[in-house]
Structures are given as C-alpha cells and as structure tokens.
Structure 1
C-alpha cells in the first residue's frame, strides 16, 4: 500500500543525531517525521555500539578489579562467564533505552516511519518497508544516517569468523586466540573486553603510534598498563589470511623491516575505521555534494549545498562522536525553526573507554607546536594522589597545556580510572577561556581524582604543595 505524507521536517536516521534532531524539532513546534530502517530507534550507538560496549567494558573492569584485590587481602574465585546471561543483561539495557526513545517520540507526536529512505526530489523521499511504501514531502530534511565499518577487501570477509565491531559486541563466543586489526579506540576497547573474558589478544596497527591525537607521554603510560593483558604490535600489518586443514585462521603478520610471522587465530576483528552511510540515499540524483572522503559537505549551520537539506553526525566527518552529533542536531533544528544559531564549538572531547581510560580535549602538544603557540605543559601524576592510592589506580596522570603568553588553558588529557568523567571540566575551562589561576583557585573536594585538575594548574602557577614546587626559585 502506498501512502503520501506531508511534513515540515523529515529526519533520516534515528541514532543520537537523528532522534535528538527529531525531538528538538518537535519541541520547537515543527511537524516532524523520523525515518529509521531498523526495527528499533537509537542507531548504531544505542543498539550495537556505545551502550553495549560500555556494558561489556563494565564487566571487564569488575573482573580486573576483583583479580587485583587479592593484593589488598580480599580474594575471589575465578569468574564463571555465562555468555547467555551477559547477552540477556545487555539486551535488557538496550531495550529499556530504545523503549524510552519510542515513548518520548510518541509523547512529542513525532511520526516514526520504518524503512530505507531514497530521495525522489529535493523536497521528497521514498520510503519502503516489507508492508508499505511512502512518499514523504518535506520543507526541510536532516540527514543523520551515521556510519558503517570499513572492510579490508583482501580478507575473506565472507568467513563469519572475521568480525566487525557489531559482531564483536554481539558476544556470540569468546575466542581463545583473537586478532584485532586496528589500534584505534574501537580496537583498544574490544581488546579490553575480550582479554578480561579470557581471550589471548593481539592488536596490530600499521602505524608507529596508536591514538595519534594523544600525546606520547599519555600513550606510554597506557602501553605500560596493558603489557600483562594483551599485545599491541605497531608498525605491523596483516599480509594474508588463510584457512588451515584444521580450519584455523592462519595469518601472516609482517612488522616493518622485519621477517613475517605466521600465527593462528580463532577470530579476527577488523577495526580500521568507519565510512559514511550515504550510498543508498540517492544524493547524486538531487545534486547534494560530498567531499573527497565521501562525507556530506556542510556549513556552520549544518546546511548542505541544498540550503533546506541539513546533515549531522557521522555523515559529516570527523570526529565521529555521538556527543558531537547531538549538539549538531540541536543546532540544525534551531536553525530550521528560524534561530540564527551556529555549530562552532571551541573543543570536542574524545574518550577511549579502555582500562585505564584515556580522555583528551583541545590541543595536544604537537598541535600547539604546529600552530606556533608558545605553550607550557603541566603534569600531576596520580602517584601523588591519596584517592588514587586508596582506589588502586596510581598509574594515571592529568596533563594540562597552557598558553604561556596568556596563561589560558588550551588543551588537556587524562589517563586513569574515570578519565571520561573528569575530562569535561577541562573542556568547560577551555570553552570559557579560563586561565590557570581560575582553575587552581576553584576549590575541589578532597580526596578525589578531580582535584588532580586543580593541582596540575597549581603546578603551572608555582603554588603546588602536594608535589615539590620546581618553580619556587623562579617565583621568589
């Protein structure tokens, strides 16, 4: 059956970008249709990405923390892993959140249409599902179709033992020997999960550094922390993957300027990045422009070259982050409603939810150098934190970067427990143009990990008492 729908705004995709845009449009009084080709709202992030990964990372951390408590005099038996129960628990979390989204959409009177969208014209889309097809006419459209995992064409991708991130998070099995190709955030998080669950994990990355946006002094701490849990092989790439007579995956791995190694694995995860989900939309039909990397070109109001069609989230390029997408969604909805708003954040924080966590925001040292900024680094090692000692997480550090001419904070990074919960203070300080004195004179509770931020500022100020004050002679 064919139906026609008239709407002020149509949003394609219901991930964090799409549902946030739909709900904000509805709150602003705009008649809104939300198109989603999956059965549930929430996109990759909620269903097969951010939320399930954090659920499994929580389990991984509990397992690791419990094993380390023996040093404090508390002993646990070796954990029993029940995959079925874990998946049921994970699914329960996802269902609760997706149901919440559906309820919020219903209460806001957002019309939800299931199916894949294809642009007919620059003012209409065709949507088909198993039962019906719809032509939806709109005044404004927002594209929020997200991204998909990149494959390596030379691998036998038809083999179901070669996984992408969605496969890995479905937790169908726990491989004895697990190879991860790609040392980015996804690869590192999956290594954290599967090594805790009992897999022997190797990560290979063809570059000489992982997390290239993060300063080396931070990543060096991470490498030290994971040595006993899994291997991270840099300057290394996979040359071939074949099946043995015993049906193992035989992988030839080559390190730069070195001989090949042949290893056997039960499963391989390809985590080399993601690409925009735009192929099925028919954008070429309406003349909507993509950049050289295949992402949709936008301006600061999230408008494409067709001014009444907007794009938000992963389809607009890096960084591919849900929190960036949500902010873009709000701006796009507000622009459609007539507000003169712009997407122009000073900084966007990033987090690797590994163990220990790594979080960073603003400029790194390398970026400050490339921008010819006269900067100074201020460090507070967690080995000097009472809370870190009490919580068994002394292998951490808080790092702040200040402009030496203005004393303003321009960047920061944290490695350690709950770094993801601490990084926002640094982001806020940068957004507000705070200087070192603003941060150091803000009284933080003690003993906490958050006070490491004010203490790092005190190091820069030369007022620190929790460490030796190396600036004392300069300030006298």
Structure 2
C-alpha cells in the first residue's frame, strides 16, 4: 500500500507515500436508550454547555466521567454517577480510587452508584429523567443533562483498511507490534485506534516510536513507563506496575 485518496467537499486528492502513520482517533460510544441530543451529551458536549447545570447525571465512572463530574461538582452542580462496575476509576488501584470516592462524597453534592446499570432516559421540557437499576431495583433521578462516558470507538471504519489488509479486532482496534507497525510493513498506527487506554500522551509517545522506527532506529514501546493521570479532586497519577501486576510478573 502506497497510495492515499482524500475526499473533500470540492474534490478528491491522491497522495503517494513510502510509509504512513494512522492516527484517526476515536468517537464517544452511544449506548442503547441514550441517543445523543441536546440533553443527552458526550464528553465533547460537556465542554460546551451554555450554562452550569444545577443537576447532572454521569453514566460511566471511568476517568473521563469522573474528571468532568468532579469539575461540575466543583462548580456547584449536583452530580449523580452511575457506574456498572464494582468501583469507579477501575484503571487505578482501589486504594487510590477510594480516596477520590471519599473526597467526592464529602463535598455533599455528589452521589455515586456502583454496580448500577443505566436503563434509559426520558427527555422533558426542562431536562431529563434517567432510570438505572441497582440490586434489582429501578431508581429514577431527574437532572438538567445526562453525560454518557462509557468509552470510545476507534475511527477505523470506512477508510479502506480492509482493502489493504490491515488486521483489526472485532472492535476495530488495529493490531501493532512493539514499533507501532501493523501487519502491513509500511503502515503504522498510534493513539486511540491501537490497544491501550485512549490517552493523549500515550499517543504522542507511540508517534515518537513510530517515526523513529521509520527512520531506522531500534525504538520500541515500553508501556510500563507511560504514566496514567486522572484530573479529579484530588488528582491521581501512577506509573509502573501495580502491586498485583508486580506480584504476577
């Protein structure tokens, strides 16, 4: 593969290349029963609301949901978090995530529901009614907006990867080696479209490794050395092995 065709509103342009780096990013996942609208928003919408909501429901207790939920809680919004897993911030050790959970609960305007399954949303003239299930019981909470942060989908569809034979998982994640090279030797991939958390600094590091590999250097990815940061209140940061990973290594 050495040709790229780019379609614009006006025309199509064709580029030839010796090597290519794919970095098409990702898109917020839309879940059943929560179609995006004026009141049902994703992380992008949460950054451009016309006003500070009085009440906000956050579906998903991962780092995106907790960062945005924390920010709005600090603005004075009453925040309700609905997380399907056992704990919020599952990517961090429980000893760390529990500190954030306690701090948020002390604020007095944050309610966190774990082992809770979001069921649906009903939009009203002034807001939303969100239903979720906890221990077999359906609960309902009213809010101005509901923020859905249950993950992101890689932007790997309909860009011609199948035609050139680039291997992907069922979820559209591109398989790469330690130099970010795909199974097609001159095509590399980085960022949200490859395995690992969708973090900007991870993508930057992968881009550096890919370019160095293309330039002939013996660079390779070492994910253990990439820090993970969550801008909650308090903030969390970690690097290296967790205790469990170290014991299993």
TM-score, normalised with respect to structure 1 = 0.50
CA 1:300–1:196 in 2, change beyond 3 Å: closer, same or farther?
same
Bigger Cα Rg: 1
- Candidates 183, 196, 201, aligned match of 2:61: 183
CA shift at 1:287, angstroms?
Answer: 1.2
Distance 2:100 2:8 in 1: 47
State how 1:224-243 maps to structure 2 within 5 Å: 224-227=102-105, 228=107, 229-243=109-123
Q: Which has the higher helix share?
A: 1
Residue-by-residue CA offset, 1:244-291 (whole Å, 9 max, x unaligned): 4x453222221124x222221211100011121111311111111102
Residue-by-residue CA offset, 1:116-174 (whole Å, 9 max, x unaligned): xxxxxx211111223332100111111011111111122233x2211010010123222
1:153 is matched with 32
Distance 1:287 1:358 in 2: 40
- Candidates 248, 266, 279, aligned match of 2:127: 248
State how 1:371-410 maps to structure 2 within 5 Å: 371=248
CA 1:205–1:139 in 2, change beyond 3 Å: closer, same or farther?
same
- Structure 1: gaps (5+ residues): 1-121, 374-476
State the superposition RMSD in angstroms: 1.7
2:189 is matched with 311
Distance 1:249 1:212 in 2: 27
- Candidates 149, 154, 177, aligned match of 1:299: 177
Q: Secondary structure at the match of 2:225?
A: coil
1:213–1:364 contact (8 Å) kept in structure 2: no
2:82–2:116 contact (8 Å) kept in structure 1: yes
CA shift at 1:345, angstroms?
Answer: 4.3
Distance 1:217 1:167 in 2: 31
- Structure 2: gaps (5+ residues): none
Distance 1:300 1:238 in 2: 38
CA 1:321–1:129 in 2, change beyond 3 Å: closer, same or farther?
same
Q: Secondary structure at the match of 1:264?
A: strand
CA shift at 1:194, angstroms?
Answer: 1.2
Count of residues in Structure 1 that have an aligned counterpart in Structure 2: 247
State how 1:309-348 maps to structure 2 within 5 Å: 309-348=187-226
CA 1:208–1:345 in 2, change beyond 3 Å: closer, same or farther?
closer
CA 1:240–1:278 in 2, change beyond 3 Å: closer, same or farther?
same
